[in-house]
Every structure is written in structure tokens, then in C-alpha cells.
């Protein structure tokens, strides 16, 4: 149950209170043993020139993944990096990486371990469900919810969105399922001694500062939060000894629905950019903006 988060509804924090409440049913996360859960996703590498196979999926098309470089989602990398920095500062004691998807996910779990995560969980889903189209946020959030119940983290740090689906929904759905506070697009995170947390958040209008009176919470990470480290070779070697627990959805069964709730109808490449033209004078410019580009 997630009842220990009633405190987060209070808007005024009692600075004399060191965080304990009277309700003995509520669990008290201890600063000394803070555990961070970091979901990571294996996606097409951000630098790859994407190609569409238009005839796939009965004509809907899909992004061609054969022989294409796959990497950890950049926003997930940022989340792992932030967790490792919390560990370097001794605020976090254990980092658990988790990934939902077919067997290949182990690659990004190994990368997370090499970056500094302590152990990993792989929720292994069927090979035929593509993680960019078929396995959708509601399902992923459901699996992450089950893992969070089991792992009891003090903080879930995750990327704000995946660069393949670009849904940006998993964070919110997960926070909702857990009934934990959620702060999105974090550009700066400070965890305080009393287990409260201040987050600077990027919006289109600028940066705002939010305060979470008490963890646990779900925070999604944005680009400016940090610059992720490369996994050094010694850490890659050490990661070999770190544990990856596998939850095999097929053989163990699950109540989380895996079929897509949204159907992807068509995918196509954007129109290629046409060359510009020179105009002779301002009148011509206005005429073109009005009648051709139709922007005024």
C-alpha cells in the first residue's frame, strides 16, 4: 500500500519536524539506506538516420531496426547518471536499474550497471512485442509499478520520455498507480537530510522550483539535468559480477495487460525540405507569407 505518502499533501513543511510522523503504519524511509529505482529503455540510437519500412505491419509501416544501432534512451542515461551522482554524494545507497522488454534489454541494463547501478531487474516480455509500438506506457507503467512494490525504492528516477515512442506518459501513469508525487522535466534535483526534495523544473515559460515535502516520489529527468558519464572499461568489467534478476512474464504469468491500447495507424517520413527562394522586396515577402506559406 502507498499510504505513507499522505504527508506529501501538506503544503507547509514543518521545519522542526525531522520527518517522523505518529502513524506507525507508515514506513519511514531512512536517508542512510535510500534506494533509487531507475527504469531504462533500449531504443534506436539518437544519432541513427531513421528509415521507414512502409510495407511492414500490413501497410502501417515501421521504423527499420535491422542492423541498426540501439542504445540506452538518452533521457534514461541522464536518470542513471543522476542516481549515480546521488550515490557518489552518499545520499543513495543502492541503485536498481529496471527494464521492460525482450531479451535484448539486457544490453542497457549492463550499461546501467557499468555506469554505477548496483543491480538490475529485467521484466522479460515476449519477443514479438516491439517496445516502440506494441508495449505501451500503460503496460510498462504496470510492470514498473509491480517492481516498485517489490523493491520499495525511496525515489524513482526516469527519463521524461523515450525517443522512439515519444509518449512521455509512463512517469505519470506510474506515479498515479503508486499514488506518489510526481515532478517532471527535472533540471536540478536536491535531496535534503530530512528526505524532502527540491526540484527545478523546465517549462516552456522558464524554470520553476517545486518542493516535495517527503519522499518517495517519481521524478522524470530532462536534458539539462546532467551530462552522463561514459562507462569506463574497469566498470564494464566490474559490472559482469553484478546481478540481473529476470522476471519472465511468459512463464510466470502476469495480470498486467500487454496488448496495445493505442493503434499505430500510419508512420511516414516528414516531407523533405524544399529549397528556399529569394524575394525581390517586402511586398513580395508579405504576399508569399500570406498566400503560400499561409502563416499570416
**Positions in the binding site for another protein (CB under 8 A):** 45, 47, 65-71, 102-107, 110-111, 114, 124, 126-128, 229-237, 239-241, 243-246, 248, 250-252
Least Å distance between CB 90 and another protein?
A: 22
* Nearer Cβ to another protein (106/188): 106
Backbone phi, then psi, for 249, in 5-degree steps? -60, -40
Q: CB neighbours of 263 closer than 8 A, spacing ≥ 6? A: none
Half-sphere exposure of 286 (CA within 13 A, CB side): 3
User: 152 or 250: whose CB is closer to another protein?
Assistant: 250
Q: Residue 115 CB, nearest distance to another protein (Å)?
A: 10
CB of 248 to another protein, least distance (A): 4
> In terms of CB distance, is 113 or 189 closer to another protein?
113
Q: How far is the CB of 247 from another protein (least distance, A)?
A: 9
| Nearer to another protein among residue 234 and residue 270 (C-beta) | 234
The answer to whether the beta carbons of residues 179 and 2 sit under 8 Å apart is yes
Fill in the DSSP letter of residue 262. S
Rounded distance between C-alpha atoms, residue 95 and residue 117, angstroms: 5
Strand ranges for the chain from DSSP E: 35-39, 42-44, 52-53, 62-63, 70-72, 94-101, 119-124, 155-159, 182-191, 197-203, 206-212, 217-221, 244-248
Residue 68 or 285 with smaller CB distance to another protein: 68
Which are the contacts of 90, defined by CB distance < 8 A and separation ≥ 6?
Answer: none
CB of 231 to another protein, least distance (A): 5
Q: Which residue lies nearer to another protein by CB, 71 or 171?
A: 71
> What is the SS3 assignment for 79?
helix
Tell me how far, at minimum, the Cβ of 198 lies from another protein, in Å: 30
Q: Torsions phi, psi of 33, nearest 5?
A: -120, 40
Amino acid at each position: 500500500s502507498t499510504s505513507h505518502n499522505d504527508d506529501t499533501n501538506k503544503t507547509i513543511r514543518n521545519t522542526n519536524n525531522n520527518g517522523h510522523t505518529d502513524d506507525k503504519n507508515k514506513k519511514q524511509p531512512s536517508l542512510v539506506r535510500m534506494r533509487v529505482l531507475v527504469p531504462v529503455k533500449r531504443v534506436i540510437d539518437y544519432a541513427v538516420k531513421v528509415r521507414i519500412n512502409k510495407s511492414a505491419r500490413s501497410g502501417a509501416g515501421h521504423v527499420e531496426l535491422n542492423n541498426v544501432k540501439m542504445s540506452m534512451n538518452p533521457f534514461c542515461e541522464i536518470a542513471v547518471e543522476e542516481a549515480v551522482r546521488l550515490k557518489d554524494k552518499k545520499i543513495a545507497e543502492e541503485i536498481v536499474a529496471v527494464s521492460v522488454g525482450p531479451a535484448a534489454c539486457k544490453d542497457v541494463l549492463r550499461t546501467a550497471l557499468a555506469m554505477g547501478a548496483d543491480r538490475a531487474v529485467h521484466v522479460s516480455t515476449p519477443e514479438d512485442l516491439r517496445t516502440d509500438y506494441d508495449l505501451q506506457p500503460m503496460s510498462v507503467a504496470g510492470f514498473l509499478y509491480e517492481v516498485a512494490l517489490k523493491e520499495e525504492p525511496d525515489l524513482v528516477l526516469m527519463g521524461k520520455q523515450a525517443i522512439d515512442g515519444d509518449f512521455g506518459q509512463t512517469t505519470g501513469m506510474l506515479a498515479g498507480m503508486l499514488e506518489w508525487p510526481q515532478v517532471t522535466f527535472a533540471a536540478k534535483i536536491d535531496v535534503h537530510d530530512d528526505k524532502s526534495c527540491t526540484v527545478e523544473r523546465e517549462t516552456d515559460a522558464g524554470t520553476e522550483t517545486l518542493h516535495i515535502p517527503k519522499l518517495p516520489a517519481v521524478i522524470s529527468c530532462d536534458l539539462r539535468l546532467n551530462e552522463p558519464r561514459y562507462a569506463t572499461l574497469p566498470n564494464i568489467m566490474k559490472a559482469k559480477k553484478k546481478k540481473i534478476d529476470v522476471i519472465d512474464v511468459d512463464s510466470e504469468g502476469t495480470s498486467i495487460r500487454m496488448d496495445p491500447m493505442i493503434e499505430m495507424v500510419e508512420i511516414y517520413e516528414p516531407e523533405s525540405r524544399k529549397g528556399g527562394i529569394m524575394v525581390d522586396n517586402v511586398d513580395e515577402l508579405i504576399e508569399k507569407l500570406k498566400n503560400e506559406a499561409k502563416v499570416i
